[in-house]
Structure 1
Amino acid sequence: MTDVILSIRDAVKRYGETHALDRVDLDVAEGEFLTLLGPSGSGKTTLLTAVAGFTQLTAGTVSMRGTDITSLPPEKRGFGMVFQGYALFPTMTVAQNVGFPLKVRGKSKAEIAARVAECLDLVQMGRFADRMPQQLSGGQQQRVALARALSFHPPVLLLDEPLSALDKKLRADLQWELKALHEKLGVTFIYVTHDQEEALSMSDRIVILEGGRIQQEGAPEALYDAPRTDFVANFLGKSNFLDVTVAGHVPGGAACDLAGHPIEIASPAPPPVGAAARVALRPERIALGPEGGEGVPGRIAQVSYLGERAQLIVDTERLGPLLVSRPTWKAAIHPDAGLPVTLRWERDACVFLEAR
């Protein structure tokens, strides 16, 4: 990791008997796009507001570049914030909203005008400077909120589900814009979302929380390809879970018994011989072949057409129902409900999970 700008150590937040945060340790690198991802109630927003200073920790510390800021009020921390609800001043124009943080910092009118114009151009809102917030769409208001948060050159930008109130297409467009803006400015972003695709597409690193604890953290592709637990495997994307017995070790993995089917699973550190283990198998890593081929026989029970992909539920006698995801363009097999098929996958398709 490059230079650390923020450090959270042993962070605890209790509400009565409920632990919103439970001994969280986290470092944030200078210039990083870090996403806090988790379901409702996982602690991600509590952690963000503790960094911002709006939530006081029950125990633990928050430090910035080595200086303890745990007791510092929000206005003294100098962080920019963008909320889901925009929080624009309704009686101020777009330009006045963006310039407000500079005005309270005592900047001159000339400085404010120049910086407002620069920030509005950054978010493609320069021509709307004289509009009132109520004259803007939701996406435009969020762009103004982003410009305001960046106007005073904050070292860290905190974003609390800023796109969740927008429709799907606009969210996708603004995801690209936010990522490009981060790359251009180099400001540290800490982003909260419950949307897995959003986290995967935008982040340098994802921290997955559940029950107030960090379950796993890492680069998006590392988390997706190598989840450690059932929760991570099924929250970040979808997974099938299979129970196997390790029959022996082979170069680069293990020979396993899967409900009577011998399979090999690639792993740098497989469980010991004789161990019962659980593995995750992503739906898109399962190949669909005609009936009678080598593999696991099954029958398509349900088909959901999703445009570029189809999601299938395939009933198998020994493994139960399996979720399969296949491209629809020039598919070798047209997946109709009731069709008998054969399922197979490569030895590196499965991932061993930690024992529960």
Structure 2
Amino acid sequence: MTEPILSIRNAVKRYGSLHALDHVDLDVAAGEFLTLLGPSGSGKTTLLSAIAGFVDLDDGRITLHASDITKAPPERREFGMVFQGYALFPTMTVRDNVAFPLKVRKRAASEIADRTKECLDLVQMGGFADRMPHQLSGGQQQRVALARAMSFKPQVLLLDEPLSALDKKLRADLQWELKSLHSQLGVTFIYVTHDQEEALSMSDRIVILKDGCIQQQGAPGDLYNRPRTTFVADFLGKSNFIDADITGRHSDILHCVAKGAAFDVQTDNVDEIGNKARLALRPERLRINKPGVELLAAKVSQVSYLGERCQVIVKHEGLGDLLVSCATWQTGIKPAPGLEVSIGWDQNACVVLAAD
């Protein structure tokens, strides 16, 4: 990472005996799209609120360009903020809502007019400038809220689950627009969501939190393909978990046995693994085929058709239920409950997990 625009060190926030933030360290690069991801109660909104200045830390410090802003009030931090509930002023027009931050900062009337128009055009709301918020759809209100947050050219834009109140298709459309705006503006985005697909599709880097602690952080592909713990593998996407005994190892190959099923696993940390290992196996990395074609015999329990993909639960005598995700286009077999099948996977399909 280049020199960070924002740094959080040893951030602690307690509510009684509960640690909402438990000694969090985080750097944010200039121009980065960083997403804070985690389940309810993980600390992601508390961390965003501490960055914004709405929550006072019990310990730790926050710096912006190496200047300490830990005790600075929100208005001194000059961060843009977009909320889940839009937070538009109901008695102001769209134009006046976007212009408000500039008027508070006592900018010249000509600058206010020009910048307001520019921001509304950026979010494709230029034709709605004279409407009131109640005359807009949820998606339109969120666009206006985004324009208002950008109007005074903040260095950092904080977004607290801004799309969660919208329907699925509109959310998908606005995800593309947000990502495009980020590319155009070059502003640092810090984004909070509990939606894994949203985080994977939009972010340069994802920070996964649980119980006020950072569990893992990295590029979306790195986190998805190389989760470190059961929590990360289970929270970010879906995984099958296999507890295996290691019966031998050769170079980067582990020879594994789990409930009578023998298979090999290729891993780059073979020397750090003891005699047992927990493995994560993504559903799309399993193959399902006719009996005898793949390594293990199984039987189809349930089938869920999802259009482009089919989710299949198969039962193996020793391993139990395993979730398989396969394309529905030109599949080798048509899964149906009760069907005898075989399943298999490549040696490098499994990820060896560390203890949570």
In the superposition, the TM-score normalised over structure 1's length comes to 0.98
- Residue 200 (structure 2) aligns with: 200
Mapped contact 1:249–1:273 kept (Cα < 8 A): no
- Between the aligned partners of 1:2 and 1:272, the Cα distance in structure 2 is 31
Deviation at 1:331, TM superposition (A): 1.1
- Between the aligned partners of 2:117 and 2:255, the Cα distance in structure 1 is 63
Deviation at 1:253, TM superposition (A): 2.9
Residues 165, 274 of structure 1: alpha-carbon distance in 2 compared, 3 angstrom cutoff: closer
Counterpart of 2:70, as a letter, is T
- The CA RMSD over aligned residues, in Å, is 1.0
Mapped contact 1:247–1:274 kept (Cα < 8 A): no
- The secondary structure found in structure 2 opposite 1:346 is coil
- The secondary structure found in structure 2 opposite 1:149 is helix
- Between the aligned partners of 1:351 and 1:34, the Cα distance in structure 2 is 25
Counterpart of 2:185, as a letter, is L
After TM superposition, the structure 1 = structure 2 runs for residues 282-293 of structure 1, keeping only pairs within 5 Å, are 282-293=282-293
- Residue 159 (structure 2) aligns with: 159
Residues 248, 33 of structure 1: alpha-carbon distance in 2 compared, 3 angstrom cutoff: same
- The secondary structure found in structure 2 opposite 1:238 is coil
Deviation at 1:163, TM superposition (A): 0.1
Mapped contact 1:247–1:273 kept (Cα < 8 A): no
Deviation at 1:197, TM superposition (A): 0.1
Mapped contact 2:4–2:28 kept (Cα < 8 A): yes
Deviation at 1:257, TM superposition (A): 1.9
- Residue 74 (structure 2) aligns with: 74
Counterpart of 1:140, as a letter, is Q
- Residue 278 (structure 1) aligns with: 278
- Between the aligned partners of 2:76 and 2:331, the Cα distance in structure 1 is 58
Q: Name segments (4+ residues, structure 1) moved above 6 Å.
A: none
- Residue 64 (structure 2) aligns with: 64
After TM superposition, the structure 1 = structure 2 runs for residues 230-245 of structure 1, keeping only pairs within 5 Å, are 230-245=230-245
- The secondary structure found in structure 2 opposite 1:49 is helix
- Residue 22 (structure 1) aligns with: 22
Structure 1, gaps ≥5 residues long: none
- The secondary structure found in structure 2 opposite 1:55 is coil
Mapped contact 1:80–1:158 kept (Cα < 8 A): yes
- Between the aligned partners of 1:325 and 1:12, the Cα distance in structure 2 is 41
After TM superposition, the structure 1 = structure 2 runs for residues 187-226 of structure 1, keeping only pairs within 5 Å, are 187-226=187-226
Counterpart of 1:179, as a letter, is K
- Residue 295 (structure 1) aligns with: 295
- Residue 263 (structure 1) aligns with: 263
Mapped contact 1:122–1:147 kept (Cα < 8 A): yes
- Whether 1:98 and 2:86 are equivalent positions in the alignment is no
Deviation at 1:59, TM superposition (A): 0.7
Mapped contact 2:157–2:188 kept (Cα < 8 A): yes
Residues 274, 31 of structure 1: alpha-carbon distance in 2 compared, 3 angstrom cutoff: closer
Counterpart of 1:7, as a letter, is S
How many pairs align? Answer: 356
Counterpart of 1:100, as a letter, is F
- Residue 311 (structure 2) aligns with: 311
Mapped contact 1:245–1:274 kept (Cα < 8 A): no
Structure 2, gaps ≥5 residues long: none
- Residue 117 (structure 2) aligns with: 117
Residues 206, 272 of structure 1: alpha-carbon distance in 2 compared, 3 angstrom cutoff: closer
- Residue 320 (structure 1) aligns with: 320
Deviation readout 1:209-244 (Å, 9 max, x if unpaired): 000000000000000000000000000000000011
Deviation readout 1:181-229 (Å, 9 max, x if unpaired): 0011100000000000000000000000000000000000000000000
- Residue 51 (structure 1) aligns with: 51
Counterpart of 1:347, as a letter, is Q
Could you tell which deviates more after superposition, 342-351 or 324-333?
324-333
- Residue 184 (structure 2) aligns with: 184
- Between the aligned partners of 2:160 and 2:260, the Cα distance in structure 1 is 48
- Whether 1:6 and 2:2 are equivalent positions in the alignment is no
Deviation at 1:266, TM superposition (A): 1.3
Question: % of aligned pairs identical?
Answer: 66
- Between the aligned partners of 1:26 and 1:272, the Cα distance in structure 2 is 27
Deviation at 1:250, TM superposition (A): 2.1
